[in-house]
Amino acid sequence: KYTKFSISYYWINSLDQKISIHSSLEIVDIPPGAENKTAALYYDYRIMPLESTSSTGTYYCEVKWNDIQKMGKGVFVLVRDTGYINTSYVWEILVTLTVLLSVLSITATALFLQKRK
């Protein structure tokens, strides 16, 4: 009963539309002596390449047996343009800190030399 099932991959876009990506019918042979035992099978399906930012959405896998349907929790995928640059302020903070410390060091040195005279 459970040796024949279908696997479907789909995604739900920003408009809540369900878009089918791939589906296949699987038939699994049960080796002698392995009847009535739980088995885990892994299926890897890669969706490449994602064409544009409109491919952003939540991607799901669904398995259907005769009377049972199981759906994965979904994976959210954010697709960005190729020209996208992640803004990072690490360099700005580092340069600002270096300039500030330099100014303080020069001021302290000048005050120290002025006191000595």
Q: How many CA atoms lie within 13 A of 24 on its CB side?
A: 7
Over pLDDT 70: what percentage of the chain?
87
Contact assessment for residue 73 and residue 12, using Cβ atoms and an 8 Å cutoff:
no
Q: How many domains is the chain built from?
A: 2
Which residues lie across from 9 on neighbouring strands?
Answer: 22, 61
pTM confidence score: 0.56
Does 9 share its domain with 55? yes
Over pLDDT 90: what percentage of the chain?
17
| Cα–Cα distance, 66 to 6 (Å, whole number) | 10
Does 42 share its domain with 99? no
**10-61: pLDDT as tens digits:** 888 778 888 888 888 888 887 787 778 777 777 777 776 666 667 788 889 9
* pLDDT at res. 51: 65
Does 98 share its domain with 47? no
Q: Containing domain of residue 100, as a range?
A: 86-116
* pLDDT at res. 117: 67
Does 45 share its domain with 93? no
Does 31 share its domain with 58? yes
Contact assessment for residue 12 and residue 19, using Cβ atoms and an 8 Å cutoff:
yes
Does 31 share its domain with 70? yes
